[in-house]
Amino acid sequence: MKNPDLSVKIGKLKLKNPVMVASGTFGYAEEFSGLVGLHKLGAVVSKTITLKGRPGNTLPRTCETPAGMLNSIGLENPGINKFIKEKLPVLRRAKAPIIVSIASENDPQEFVVLANELEKIRDVAAIELNISCPNVKTQKSLISQDPEATFQVVKAVRKVSTKTLITKLSPNVTDITQIALAAQNAGSDAVSLINTLLGMSIDVKARKPKIASITAGLSGPAIRPIAVRMVWEAFQKIKIPIIGMGGIIDASSALEFFLAGASAVAVGTANFIDPKISNTIIEGIRSYLKENRVSHLEDIVGALKA
């Protein structure tokens, strides 16, 4: 059988394969150069960028949990201007499509300002709206915990941006489909599912939280069943493509997401464990399609036999 077609379309963006690296887990790509074929990646998603720079949260910011990890980085980033001047040129060297993740700190209008800044930059292939970071303390609740707030933010950005828009949702909600629908109805081209789950871990000897901010975001294989379930639920309700993530560590775990309805996937925590894993996963997906005589990846999207 000839090589299966792994390409996917997300909004206006055509990717040569469906494997991206998730925001915040891949630095600005240069940290991984030499350890993985960066140009082979479907896309690279930047660390989330805010309007002004953020120093990030106090330490400790990470700890390991059973089959997972907690993090509370607090969106440490240099701010949009420095990002464009200093980090974007670095990201370009990866020679993979660049998706820039953005977030507001206080006022959702900041999304509009950020999207405007990125509008002029041709090789920003898409924008991911991170309305779901659990580690910013100035926010009482997440935008992505409210369908109306989600709708307003996406709609406001849609008005000013011609780029492919991806809305990243939080699993810390009762019904993810409502939020996914709101994003779709406001003009989002795709949704990313899921950001980290809010969690907590305690050092019983010291009676202290293991993370300074007490609560933090849980990622890794521990959250995969929840992520797959949410992708499956959203797939029943929305028409726009889903980018699935949460605990992907090999081709088989990535394939779970496609079968549940994801058109593309992102690898997060697993990059820390095996920096070349995203490349390995691309090859693994290719082999699976060949073995199962599937000519287009899209033929297995949502192909769960249930």
Ligand X SMILES: Cc1cc2nc3c(=O)[nH]c(=O)nc-3n(C[C@H](O)[C@H](O)[C@H](O)COP(=O)(O)O)c2cc1C
Query: 214 touches which of another protein, ligand X, none (CB within 5 to 8 A by kind)?
Result: none
Separation of alpha carbons 306 and 301, rounded Å: 14
x-or-dash string of contact with another protein, 167-206, rule CB under 8 A: ----------------------------------------
Site for another protein in 231-250 (CB under 8 A): 249
Contacts of residue 173, defined as CB under 8 A and 6 or more positions apart, other chains included, come to 144, 145, 179
Supply 215's token pair. 């609560």
How many residues does the structure list for the chain? 306
Supply 243's token pair. 């980018």
The residues with which 19 forms a beta bridge, in sequence order, are 265
Q: Which of 1, 35, 202, 214 binds another protein (CB under 8 A)?
A: 35
Q: Applying CB under 8 A, which part among 60-68, 80-88, 140-148, 289-297 lies near another protein?
A: 60-68
Q: Interface with another protein includes 90 (CB under 8 A)? A: no
3-class SS letters over 70-104: EECCCCCECCHHHHHHHHHHHHHCCCCCEEEEECC
CB 228 within 8 A of CB 257: yes
C-beta of 104 vs 201, nearer to another protein: 201
55: amino acid identity, one letter: P
x-or-dash string of contact with another protein, 110-139, rule CB under 8 A: ------------------------------
Which listed residue (10, 19, 133, 267) is catalytic? 133
C-beta of 75 vs 231, nearer to ligand X: 75
In the complex, the smallest distance separating the C-beta of residue 138 from ligand X, rounded to whole angstroms, is 15
Separation of alpha carbons 66 and 222, rounded Å: 7
C-beta of 48 vs 184, nearer to ligand X: 48
Tell me which residues touch ligand X (CB under 6 A).
22-25, 47-48, 71, 73, 75, 101, 130, 133, 168, 195-196, 219-220, 223, 245-248, 267-270
Supply 248's token pair. 């992907």
User: Which residue of the chain is nearest ligand X when measured via CB?
Assistant: 24
Q: Does residue 63 carry a catalytic annotation? A: no
CB 231 within 8 A of CB 261: yes
> Which spans in the chain are helix H?
80-82, 88-92, 109-119, 147-160, 176-185, 224-237, 251-260, 270-273, 277-291
Active site (catalytic) residues: 133
User: Which residues bind to another protein, rule: CB under 8 A?
Assistant: 24-27, 31-32, 34-35, 47, 55-56, 59-64, 66-69, 71, 73, 76, 220-221, 249, 269, 271-276
